[in-house]
Amino acid sequence: MSTDLQIHRPEPISKAKQVTRFDNETDVKQAIKTLEAGKSIMIEGFYSNGLILLKALKVHLDKKLPNESFQEQRAYRAAYHKLSNGILIEIEDHKVALKKAPFIGWLEKLYPETSDFVLSFPQIQGLNSSWQWYTNGISVPVLRNKVHPYYGTYFPTRFDHVILFDNWLKRYEGLKKTAIDVGIGSGVLSFQLLKYGFQTVYGTDTNPNAIIGLTEFMGDTKLSRKITLDHAPLFGKFDAPTELIVFNPPWLPKINQLENLDEAMYYDENLFPDFFAEAKKHLLPDGQLVVLFSNLAQITHFKTAHPIEKELSEGGRFRLERCFKKRVKEASIQTKRDQHWRGSEEVELWVLMHKLSL
């Protein structure tokens, strides 16, 4: 694994010479008009002033845009993302230069080369949340120890699919010499594999933060001797065939007109064809390929074929061994966003094997 990976981080923003300032005496409605005109606003005084402006922006968009269907929610979030990122924060000496601002260790850890710069308020919020997850850890029902996700690394916020995988692993009777975890993220699936006796796990990810974070997390422990990492797409440098391949891909298709899409959330049209072509080369004759997925795209009215069903019907490479499904828990009553579609969402665990030759 390369040791000089470039960390993904929010890039510092060039501060305009003339920028509108916002404090507790600034007119909120005028500030929103400034943002809609494509101009930036710098928060001054207290950290809470930024929160006040963000809240007012949400109220403004609630009145202006529909936010009920899944597609409307995505359009709403895109509008909010565009406007809210015009709200800026100054960083001085690796700290947020506002009164009563939270301590965010990432500001020093991710920006060692500069101590004074500017970021958007949503970026600061993201860094703050990430720092809390990183320092406090995330409890995962199927693991004894917490995971500590590095900034910008995918980790599960719902656990239906990892519970489904855990139940499958309990009954797994194949060999346990090696496994490949494609898109290892924060390492949850790999830690589950080790929990059930796999000797060696090879993990890949296209996100350098995932590799950097797991390398730091494992250190020189037993984990580092059982999990080998590679910053690469799909199977990377791991050429030897294995008895088990696990893949928890994005569950929604990419829509080209939306910007700033997260690769952990949205897949492009080439991901699954490329994955299945490579998986065939890397799977032992009696090996098993496990894909964790969801019917989310189908129930939210994306006009796209289910990629695993498409592979089974057209690919000619694999046959279906088993498919397990688990109904997802209803959205929390505290969730403000309308998620009526969650009532019919199911997570899926697909077990595929080489197609039998005639």
Q: What is the pLDDT of residues 237-255, one digit of tens each?
A: 999 999 999 999 987 877 6
Residue 40 has pLDDT above 70, yes or no: yes
Mean per-residue pLDDT for 36-41? 93
Q: Which of 89-98, 140-149, 258-267 has the lowest mean pLDDT?
A: 258-267
Q: Which of 209-213, 267-271, 320-324 has the lowest mean pLDDT?
A: 267-271
Q: With contact defined as beta carbons under 8 Å apart, do 351 and 323 qualify? A: yes
> Which positions ≥6 away from 70 have C-beta within 8 Å?
300, 301, 341
User: What is the per-residue pLDDT for 67?
Assistant: 67
User: What is the per-residue pLDDT for 1?
Assistant: 43
Per the model's pLDDT, the better-predicted residue between 189 and 79 turns out to be: 189
> Which positions ≥6 away from 84 have C-beta within 8 Å?
54, 57, 120, 121, 122
User: What is the per-residue pLDDT for 75?
Assistant: 84
**CA 234 vs CA 48, 95, 151, 206, 245: distances in Å:** 43, 38, 21, 8, 11
When pLDDT is cut at 50, 70 and 90, the band that residue 334 belongs to is: very low
Residue 16 has pLDDT above 80, yes or no: no
User: What is the per-residue pLDDT for 113?
Assistant: 93
When pLDDT is cut at 50, 70 and 90, the band that residue 343 belongs to is: low
Domains annotated for the chain, with CATH where assigned, are 20-134 (no CATH), 160-354 (3.40.50.150)
Q: With contact defined as beta carbons under 8 Å apart, do 203 and 230 qualify? A: yes
Q: What is the pLDDT of residues 108-140, one digit of tens each?
A: 999 999 999 999 999 999 999 999 999 999 999
**CA 107 vs CA 196, 199, 229, 332, 348: distances in Å:** 38, 37, 26, 32, 38
User: What is the per-residue pLDDT for 299?
Assistant: 75
Q: Which of 115-119, 120-124, 155-159, 295-299 has the lowest mean pLDDT?
A: 295-299
Q: With contact defined as beta carbons under 8 Å apart, do 67 and 337 qualify? A: yes
Per the model's pLDDT, the better-predicted residue between 245 and 63 turns out to be: 245
When pLDDT is cut at 50, 70 and 90, the band that residue 335 belongs to is: very low
Per the model's pLDDT, the better-predicted residue between 41 and 69 turns out to be: 41
Mean per-residue pLDDT for 339-350? 74
User: What is the per-residue pLDDT for 282?
Assistant: 97
When pLDDT is cut at 50, 70 and 90, the band that residue 263 belongs to is: low
